[in-house]
């Protein structure tokens, strides 16, 4: 396990200006390795996110017998199809990556061997019944630790999985994707009905790698026994990573930040809608609307923000951005209400409690509710000792918050968590503060 580190954060900054090219999209980086591994032929991936979570996915598939070359400019996956996946010689450690463990379970469900998958202390607390129950319904045998729903999870796969009709009890792209990966290996046609629309990178990649899937509103239909062909991919920048700089540019005086090659898949752009609803100055240029390459340049500048309500179908489109949106709301005039976001409780940490506690430490006026939070603006922030709880998005949010602090210092415990999705984050922040 990595050592824990604390660091003094940059504080009291204005005039943030410059251009940032954020790292590759984490969701797409994970899935590009997975589809490359189950496809036949080479998959070449450019702008892959070389951060801890995605490297965990590479390591997992290497343990399953897939050759993956990490070159300076690209990742090359030498896929040999589903049947080339082999039983690993030992349990697979996926570190802090919830995406890896849940989607991998869907792939392992249709293989004729048994695999144990585990992760760090955060993963050990994340609920897996939401994935295990539908996979077991299809004919796999998934079990958590000592009869619980928590990792380590052992997946005993089956080559005779059966298609199911599955109505999703939660709005979760990870659960949906796990069922899709299992359905691709099953007999018959699987139907999935979503509660709310969630990010659809898996559906796009099924088509991109030569598969067939039908999406009609919230209903997805997918035939089993599909085969894939290796592809060339360029991963767009991660909007979840760009979000921290969008907020910095909006809330810090005399600032303008340009973010290049930001992924703009409509199932992920909830934060842009929220920024516009809060009167934020944001423009999008250089837009590419080609399927699988939805991206553009996002420019933000200092704005007079107003509070808003964030709820309902919007939540799955910005679930990972809610910590930084909470900070944005502390600098808006009036009250912001976030609700229908109970899913935040089962992320890398309980993000509702973490956001409320740490921003309160810095002087924000913010209250937790059962399914979200209520934030009062416009609040000056002050110094304090804060922690990421080992959650990358909490750590990055606190650095952006610290930039507003004019009195006192901000010390961040467990700063190493940021490398999960953005290894050069602190350097990129510093580059805007010259």
CA 290 to chain centre: 22
Active-site option among 53, 238, 320, 391: 320
Judge if 200 and 257 occupy the same domain. no
Tokens 């956001």 -> residue: 355
HEC string of the chain equals CCCCCEEECCCCCCCCEEEEECCECHHHHHHHHHHHHHCEEEEEEECCCCCHHHHHHHHHHHHCCCEEEECCCEEEEEEECHHHCCCCCCCEECCCCHHHHHHHHHHHCCCCCEEEEECCCCHHHCCCHHHHHHHHHCCCEEECHHHCCCCCEEEECCCCCECCEEECCCCCHHHHHHHHHHHCCCECEEEEECCCCCCCHHHHHHHHCCCCCEEECCEEEEECCCCCECCEEECCECHHHHHHHHHHHHHCCCCEEEEEEEECCHHHCHHHHHHHHCCCEEEEEEEECCCCCCEEEEEEECCCCECCEECHHHHHHCHHHHHHHHHHHHCCEEEEEECCCHHHHHCCCCHHHHHHHHHHHCCCEEEEECCEEEEEECCCCCCEEEECCCCHHHHHHHHHHHCCCCCCCEEEECHHHHHHCCCCHHHHHHHHCC
Are 427 and 385 a contacting pair, CB within 8 Å?
no
Does residue 186 lie within any of the structural domains? yes
pLDDT on residue 288: 75
Torsion of CA 284, 173, 198, 168, to 10 degrees: 180
Q: Are the beta carbons of 271 and 280 closer than 8 angstroms?
A: no
Rounded Cα gap, residues 240 and 137, in angstroms: 33
pLDDT value of position 292: 56
Is residue 105 situated within a structural domain? yes
Question: pTM here?
Answer: 0.85
Backbone dihedral region of 244: left (phi > 0), alpha (psi from -120 to 50 degrees) or beta?
A: alpha
> Among residues 202, 234, 266, which one ends one of the domains?
234
Q: How many domains does the chain have?
A: 2
Calpha distance 68→77 (Å, rounded): 5
Burial class (CB in 10 A: 0-12, 13-18, 19+), 198: buried
The answer to whether the beta carbons of residues 155 and 118 sit under 8 Å apart is no
18 and 79 within one domain: no
Tell me what pLDDT residue 265 has.
87
Q: How far is CA 429 from CA 246, 332, 388, 423, in A?
A: 12, 22, 17, 12
Answer for the pair 283, 297: CB distance below 8 angstroms, yes or no: no
Whether 1 maps to a domain, the answer reads no
Does 200 lie in the same domain as 64?
A: yes
pLDDT of residue 1: 42
Same domain for 180 and 57, yes or no, is: yes
Annotated binding site for 3-phosphoshikimate: 26-27, 31, 172, 174, 320, 347
Q: Are residues 247 and 360 in the same domain?
A: yes
- The rounded distance, in Å, linking the Cα atoms of 259 and 244 is 11
> Does any domain span residue 152?
yes
The reply to whether 53 belongs to the active site is: no
Residue set of the binding site = 26-27, 31, 98, 126, 172, 174, 320, 347, 351, 393
Amino acid 342: pLDDT: 84
Q: Are 243 and 371 contained in the same domain?
A: yes
For residues 416-433, one letter each, b for 16 or more C-beta atoms within 10 angstroms of the residue's C-beta and e for the rest, the string is: bbbbbbbeebbebbeebb
Are residues 201 and 177 part of one domain? Answer: yes
Asked whether residue 63 is assigned to any structural domain, the reply reads yes
Residue 397 falls within a domain, yes or no? yes
Same domain as 211, residue 271: no
* 428 in the same domain as 330: yes
What is the mean pLDDT of each successive set of 10 residues along the chain, which is 434 residues long? 81 96 93 98 96 96 98 97 98 96 98 97 92 98 94 98 96 95 98 93 96 97 97 94 97 97 90 97 85 83 97 88 96 96 74 94 96 95 96 96 97 94 94 90
One domain, residues 289 and 183: no
Domain boundary among 216, 234, 252: 234
Same domain, 244 and 202: no
CA angle 72, 77, 80 (to 5 degrees): 160
Residue 226 shares a structural domain with residue 252:
no
* Residue 349 lies in domain: 6-24+236-432
**291 part of a folded domain:** yes
CATH of the domain at 201: 3.65.10.10
Predicted pLDDT of residue 291: 53
pLDDT at 344: 73
Extract the annotated binding site for phosphoenolpyruvate.
26, 98, 126, 174, 351, 393
- Among 180, 210, 234, identify where a domain stops: 234
Please check whether residue 356 lies inside any domain of the structure: yes
């Amino acid at each position: 396990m990595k050592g824990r580190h604390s660091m003094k954060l940059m504080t009291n900054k204005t005039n943030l200006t410059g251009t940032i090219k954020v790292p590759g999209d984490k969701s797409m980086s994970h899935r590009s390795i997975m589809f490359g591994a189950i496809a036949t032929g080479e998959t070449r991936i450019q702008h892959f996110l070389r951060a801890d979570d995605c490297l965990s996915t590479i390591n997992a598939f290497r343990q399953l017998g897939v050759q993956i070359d990490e070159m300076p400019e690209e990742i090359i996956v030498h896929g040999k199809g589903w049947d080339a996946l082999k039983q690993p010689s030992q349990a697979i450690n996926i570190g802090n990556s919830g995406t890896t463990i849940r989607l991998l379970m869907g792939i392992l469900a249709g293989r004729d061997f048994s695999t144990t998958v585990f992760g760090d202390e955060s993963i050990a607390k994340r609920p897996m019944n939401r994935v295990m129950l539908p996979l077991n319904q299809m004919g796999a045998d998934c079990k958590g630790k000592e009869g619980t729903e928590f990792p380590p999870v052992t997946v005993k796969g089956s080559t005779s999985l059966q298609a199911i009709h599955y109505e999703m009890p939660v709005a979760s792209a990870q659960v949906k994707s796990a069922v899709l990966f299992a359905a691709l290996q099953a007999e018959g046609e699987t139907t999935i009905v979503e509660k709310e629309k969630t990010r659809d990178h898996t559906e796009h990649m099924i088509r991109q790698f030569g598969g067939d899937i039908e999406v009609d509103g919230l209903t997805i239909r997918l035939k089993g026994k599909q085969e894939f062909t290796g592809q060339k991919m360029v991963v767009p920048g991660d909007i979840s990573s760009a979000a921290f700089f969008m907020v910095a540019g909006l809330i810090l005086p005399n600032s303008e930040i340009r973010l290049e090659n930001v992924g703009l898949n409509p199932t992920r752009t909830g934060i842009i809608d929220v920024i516009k609803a809060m009167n934020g100055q944001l423009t999008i240029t250089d837009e590419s609307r080609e399927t699988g390459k939805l991206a553009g340049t996002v420019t933000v500048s200092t704005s007079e923000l107003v509070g808003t309500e964030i709820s309902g179908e919007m939540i799955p489109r910005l679930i990972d951005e809610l910590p930084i949106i909470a900070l944005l709301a502390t600098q808006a005039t009036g009250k912001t209400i976030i609700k229908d976001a109970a899913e935040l409780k089962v992320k890398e940490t309980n993000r509702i409690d973490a956001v409320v506690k740490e921003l309160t430490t810095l002087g924000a006026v913010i209250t937790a509710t059962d399914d979200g939070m209520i934030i009062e603006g416009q609040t000056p922030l002050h110094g304090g000792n804060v922690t990421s709880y080992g959650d990358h998005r909490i750590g990055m949010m606190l650095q952006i918050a610290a930039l507003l602090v004019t009195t006192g210092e901000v010390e961040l415990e467990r700063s190493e968590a940021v490398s999960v999705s953005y290894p050069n984050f602190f350097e990129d922040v510093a580059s805007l503060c010259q």
